[in-house]
A and B are shown apart, each in its own frame.
Chain A
Amino acid sequence: AQSVAQPEDQVNVAEGNPLTVKCTYSVSGNPYLFWYVQYPNRGLQFLLKYITGDNLVKGSYGFEAEFNKSQTSFHLKKPSALVSDSALYFCAVRAPSGTYKYIFGTGTRLKVLA
């Protein structure tokens, strides 16, 4: 069965510092991996995805994520955090075949401190 874990409920980082939001997954085959962000009082927005190809994926708002097959991870990163990055971040995974079901993590709340 497919699953995804976001081990940290909350991550605090100072503005200007690099940030990492962790995601690990379990799925048969090569996964489809996504990151979404939920700003306060707004709907979920797509950040980036990995389907195939280069393991380092660049997305919206300066975010990037690296697909690591051996560690089954897809951590979200940004070199320099902004206060406006404060939001709830969700990792999602889907198996490449046999199902259309996406499994979302429980979310990580990112707080960027000025």
Chain B
Amino acid sequence: GAGVSQSPSNKVTEKGKDVELRCDPISGHTALYWYRQRLGQGLEFLIYFQGNSAPDKSGLPSDRFSAERTGESVSTLTIQRTQQEDSAVYLCASSRTDNQPQHFGDGTRLSIL
């Protein structure tokens, strides 16, 4: 596809369950970012991947959050033992390199009951 694709678009789950969010970046984009956007707030940086380099995990809020990316392909963000405060829209973005414009997906709206 032409843009960044995220799935699922919506996810409702019970507190304590694990969730996995997926991001398909634009082909050829080496940089990939995950952000969290709580209702009425700005984007909160979570993690950055650049090619095969070690990711920048400095934004992950707790050890319940983890993400993977193999090379320049799909990335998954996993949240273990979800809590109600994890409810948010999770956005993925990719760019050609780290100082180029980011192209955002439509996000996954996560609701924890």
Contact with A along B48-76 (1 / 0, CB 8 A): 10100000101100000000000000000
A:11-44 near B, CB below 8 Å: 32, 34, 36, 42-44
Residue ID in chain A nearest B46 by CB atoms: A101
B35 touches A (CB below 8 Å): yes
- What number of A residues sit within 8 Å (CB to CB) of B? 22
Q: Which residues of A contact B93 (CB under 8 A)?
A: 44
A67 touches B (CB below 8 Å): no
Contact with A along B23-65 (1 / 0, CB 8 A): 0000000010101000001111100101000001011000000
Q: Which residues of A contact B107 (CB under 8 A)?
A: 43
Residue ID in chain B nearest A34 by CB atoms: B101
Name B59's contact: one of A49, A90, A101 (CB within 8 Å). Answer: A101
- A-B Cβ contacts below 8 A, count: 53
Q: Which residues of A contact B33 (CB under 8 A)?
A: 102
Interface centre among A104, A105, A106 (most CB of B within 10 A): A104
Name A103's contact: one of B41, B45, B91 (CB within 8 Å). Answer: B45
Question: Given the complex of chains A and B, what is the CA–CA distance between A42 and B107 in angstroms?
Answer: 9
| Least CB distance, A109 to chain B, in whole angstroms | 10
The answer to whether A102 touches B105, judged by C-beta atoms less than 8 angstroms apart, is no
Q: Which residues of A contact B43 (CB under 8 A)?
A: 44, 90, 92, 104
The answer to whether B35 touches A104, judged by C-beta atoms less than 8 angstroms apart, is yes
B102 touches A (CB below 8 Å): yes
The answer to whether B59 touches A106, judged by C-beta atoms less than 8 angstroms apart, is no
Q: Which residues of A contact B103 (CB under 8 A)?
A: 46
Contact with B along A80-114 (1 / 0, CB 8 A): 00000000001010100001111111110000000
Contacts A43-B105, A44-B43, A90-B42 known; list 5 others, CB within 8 Å: A32-B99, A43-B4, A43-B106, A101-B59, A106-B41
Interface residues of A (CB under 8 A from B): 32, 34, 36, 42-46, 49, 51, 90, 92, 94, 99-107
**Pairs across A and B, CB under 8 Å, 15 listed:** A34-B102, A36-B102, A42-B106, A43-B4, A49-B101, A90-B42, A92-B43, A99-B56, A99-B58, A101-B48, A101-B56, A101-B58, A104-B42, A104-B43, A107-B42
